[in-house]
Amino acid sequence: MSKTSNKKINIYFITIAITLGGLLFGYDTGVINGTQFYFSKYFELTGALKGFIVSSALLGALAGAAGAGILSKAIGRKNSLIIAAMLFIVSAWGSGLPSMLPESISLMVFFRIFGGIAIGVASMNAPMYIAEIAPAEKRGNLVTFYQLAIVIGFFVVFLITYFIGNEMSESENISMGWRYMFWSELIPAFLFLILLFFVPKSPRWLMMKGKEVEAENILTRIHGKEIASREIVEIRNSITKEGNKDKVSIFSKPLLAIIIIGTVLSALQQFTGINAVLYYGADIFEQALGFGKDDILKQQILLATVNLVFTFIAMFAVDKLGRKPLLIIGGFGMLIGFLMMGFTLYFSDYSNINAAGLPTISTSEGIISLVGVLIFIGSFAMSMGPVVWVILSEIFPNKIRSIAMSIAVAAQWLANYFVSQTFPIIVESDANKLQVDGGVWNNALPYFIFSGFIIIIIVFVWKFIPETKGKTLEEMETLFEK
């Protein structure tokens, strides 16, 4: 077998193994949507308590991401991911255990927080690991595998929970079905844990720990001797240049600027409104767009399919077209999609009544709004979804990468929690009520707010985000030294 073949098989095997952390990210956050209908009836939950159980994983993810930088710096990217895999296993197993006892609700929250911590650790370490081990010319493509895995995780868990739900009666789903849905996550979680023992440690982390021979051996096995020798010199020079400023370096002027830019970009990913659509899609389709319950499943499958297809587009375009153009093009696409939806809702008279007895827009207006949502999803999937992870894994210098990435990802989970909690409040606000009921925005307010944030994103990317296509991680350290 040729050297090229060995290199390709090696790097793609490593990438796929690591991105199972992304699949579990999508799986774990998606499984709650398939289970909450049934466990809510099992425990006879109030709306507030159901909301707390659903969002508890987000709080865990915030904590996990905040601590992941320290963990990653101390024990390495690979070992951090092994811990995340174990937490995924514990969470999946434990979430299906609670009984009808009232204290069991606290037990479920406890295990959901474990899953959230695993998501936080994996969402910081997985893309960073891939970026540190990938060749510069393929780094964008390989890091977008992580976002693809998240999307596949959502898609797979949606199909599995639907299959389990259809195979049982409603009473069986209420007593046991939701448990099987949680336990189905054990399969990819164990696979992730096993494969991690077959991937190498990050060569850049090894270099920072003074293990240059081991780092060079790993780079040689992946890239070949010539490229490995050059990268070792670049990494060594980068670490030497930064000296021993580990404890204070993040507060120096150029490094602080990089951290702020990366953190703002990370948080803005959530202010596009993506998770409002993914978490509350069923409510949007039924209450605002007028689709019946039988149609909602079809719309969710359509959303998942568009999300998947356009993520593939990003994978092939990110190293050819570049990061910055994709973000700007996708930004305009997201803006067009939400404005289509917002204006359609705003000018609708809501004269129809759906099966649930709710006033809705006409079928033609519903289709226009659905097209707007699909344009938004597709545009996000080819831009802010994968490209933000690529940029975050690239722009931070070697010495501060784990800590800086931890800060940026924690900010993203905090923004995720904020948007997820405030979206239903805005939807039910007096200002957003139908005009016939005295409201002003006629159900359109959230989408105009998100459109405003998308405009901010386009301007921010144009002004502050540098193009990183084709540059080594060490070359990028000079981008902000101006």
The helix-helix angle for 445-464 and 323-346 (nearest 10°) equals: 160
- Residue 315: count other Cβ atoms within 10 Å of its Cβ: 19
Question: Judging by beta carbons within 10 Å of its beta carbon (0-12, 13-18, 19+), is residue 90 exposed, middle or buried?
Answer: middle
Encoded tokens for 145: 């595998």
**Cα–Cα distance, 378 to 365 (Å, whole number):** 20
* CATH 1.20.1250.20 boundaries in the chain: 1-199, 245-482
Q: Give residue-wise pLDDT tens across range 130-184.
A: 988 888 788 888 889 998 999 899 888 878 887 888 888 888 888 899 999 999 9
Q: Give residue-wise pLDDT tens across range 241-276.
A: 655 444 545 666 677 888 999 999 999 999 999 988
Judged by average pLDDT, the poorest of 27-41, 56-70, 236-250, 415-429 is 236-250
Percent of the residues in the chain that have a pLDDT greater than 70, as a whole number: 87
- pLDDT of 297 above 70: no
Question: For the domain bounded by 245-482, which CATH number is listed?
Answer: 1.20.1250.20
- pLDDT of 91 above 80: yes
Distances, alpha carbon 416 to alpha carbons 3, 62, 412, in Å: 44, 9, 6
DSSP secondary structure string, 140-178? HHHHHHHHHHHHHHHHHHHHHHHHHHHHS-HHHIIIIIH
Residues 6+ apart with CB under 8 A from 275: 416, 419, 420
pLDDT category of residue 292 using cuts at 50, 70 and 90: low
Encoded tokens for 140: 């964008």
- pLDDT of 100 above 70: no
Percent of the residues in the chain that have a pLDDT greater than 90, as a whole number: 42
Mean pLDDT (the chain, rounded): 85
Encoded tokens for 32: 């709650």
Cβ atoms of 272 and 333 closer than 8 Å: no
Q: Give residue-wise pLDDT tens across range 203-214.
A: 989 998 889 999
The whole-number pLDDT of residue 479 equals 61
**Cα–Cα distance, 228 to 235 (Å, whole number):** 10
DSSP 396: S
The whole-number pLDDT of residue 443 equals 87
DSSP 101: S
Question: Judging by beta carbons within 10 Å of its beta carbon (0-12, 13-18, 19+), is residue 210 exposed, middle or buried?
Answer: exposed
**Cα–Cα distance, 198 to 67 (Å, whole number):** 25
Which CATH fold would you assign to the domain 1-199?
Growth Hormone; Chain: A; (1.20.1250)
Rounded mean pLDDT of 395-405?
Answer: 83
Looking at per-residue confidence, does 246 or 100 come out higher? 100
The whole-number pLDDT of residue 5 equals 38
The whole-number pLDDT of residue 482 equals 52
pTM over 0.85: no
Highest mean pLDDT out of 140-144, 253-257, 360-364, 445-449: 445-449
- Residue 466: count other Cβ atoms within 10 Å of its Cβ: 17
Cβ atoms of 326 and 307 closer than 8 Å: no
pLDDT category of residue 234 using cuts at 50, 70 and 90: confident
Rounded mean pLDDT of 371-378?
Answer: 94
Cβ atoms of 327 and 392 closer than 8 Å: no
- 318: helix, coil or strand? coil
- pLDDT of 34 above 80: no
Encoded tokens for 142: 């390989």
- 256: helix, coil or strand? helix
Q: How far is CA 393 from the centre of its chain?
A: 14
Rounded mean pLDDT of 407-421?
Answer: 89
Highest mean pLDDT out of 31-40, 94-103, 363-372: 363-372
The helix-helix angle for 384-395 and 139-167 (nearest 10°) equals: 130
